[in-house]
Structure 1
């Protein structure tokens, strides 16, 4: 198979890409106002969570949040890898491309919804409201300020994902806790 790169060649390209990302980050991202904005988006939700989370529900909240976090990171990585979107500003030059979103505001918001909206009916309603805000307000704002650039993606495509993800993860956590009680 001529023209197919070897694993060693792919590893070399990956190292070169990482070095280029670090150099770009040092010149372009680090300490730009967008970098400070991302840092605030990473820290502030966790401060809010610290003061609002029900300590008695922490194990369940953490499990739910961990599942949400894993799904968000995987979906985000897939979307980036296949060219659906890019994040021009990063907190760090390597790792999750959208660590600020994947690690803080989304999981924290979803965990607080899980805590406060205990019936399925209220949870589905808040999930629809949250999906609307994330898809049609937050994503366009992040796009307008240049932090998120959809390439082959439309905000409407995010809407069902923002509804299905928290509902599915709630179902999974409830099943786990139900099985643990038996």
Structure 2
């Protein structure tokens, strides 16, 4: 089979899968099911909470952190679903990412608000992230699996989800620290490397201004 024949087979399989998903959604995940409204609530309610609790004084920093969590978890979720390790069995629409409610709203908003809390109250972000990651992995994921909204397959377990949550939270945190250090640098691009070297990732605070 040549390259084009491979792609023709891929296109055919994609059309078949798309048709199956549309049929499944119309039978089991449409607006008349309670699962649909649970998924919709996971998308809408965190955003409503965010609107009323977001610290406007730090809006760009906090939202940058939340956006990074969303971006990283979206890539992770797509990879896991593509390889059948992680399956969202109910979705808002068959043409949208299946885990949209979780990766675009519930997880980012939760970690974003945790980041904001630690920032404003000088708390240990690393420790609190462990607690929130455990809550999602051993609380939310377990409940979701028990009611059939989520399936963890092919040897993957809740501890793996805990590690992924933690890795995403920490990577987003470090990236935000670097970006904020660059933002507050008044000496221009040449001193960015110096500022990054001065970053203390063991500090509870999100960033330290460079000393003049």
- Asked if TM exceeds 0.5, the reply is yes
Hey, what does 2:59 align to over in structure 1?
A: 58
SS in 2 for 1:136: helix
Alpha-carbon separation, structure 1, partners of 2:73 and 2:13: 27
TM-score w.r.t. the length of structure 2 is 0.80
CA contact (8 A) 2:91 2:99 kept: yes
Q: Is 1:17 matched up with 2:17?
A: yes
Q: 1:34-81 CA distances to partner (integer Å, 9 max, x unpaired)?
A: 111111111101100000000111111221111111111111111111
Hey, what does 1:169 align to over in structure 2?
A: 172
Hey, what does 2:183 align to over in structure 1?
A: 180
* Highest RCO, 1 vs 2 (Cα 8 Å, sep ≥ 6): 1
CA contact (8 A) 2:117 2:123 kept: no
Alpha-carbon separation, structure 1, partners of 2:55 and 2:123: 21
Alpha-carbon separation, structure 1, partners of 2:113 and 2:162: 19
Q: Which runs of 5+ in 1 are unaligned?
A: none
TM-score w.r.t. the length of structure 1 is 0.93
SS in 2 for 1:86: strand
Taking the TM superposition and a 5 Å limit, the aligned residue runs for 1:49-128 are: 49-118=50-119, 122-128=124-130
SS in 1 for 2:25: helix
CA contact (8 A) 2:54 2:113 kept: yes
SS in 2 for 1:149: strand
Hey, what does 2:197 align to over in structure 1?
A: none
**Greater CA radius of gyration, 1 or 2?**
2
Moved more, 106-115 or 154-163: 154-163
Structure in which a larger fraction of residues adopt helix: 1
CA contact (8 A) 2:29 2:91 kept: yes
SS in 1 for 2:124: helix
Hey, what does 1:140 align to over in structure 2?
A: 142
Q: 1:86-106 CA distances to partner (integer Å, 9 max, x unpaired)?
A: 111111102312111111110
Alpha-carbon separation, structure 1, partners of 2:17 and 2:134: 36
Q: Which runs of 5+ in 2 are unaligned?
A: 186-212
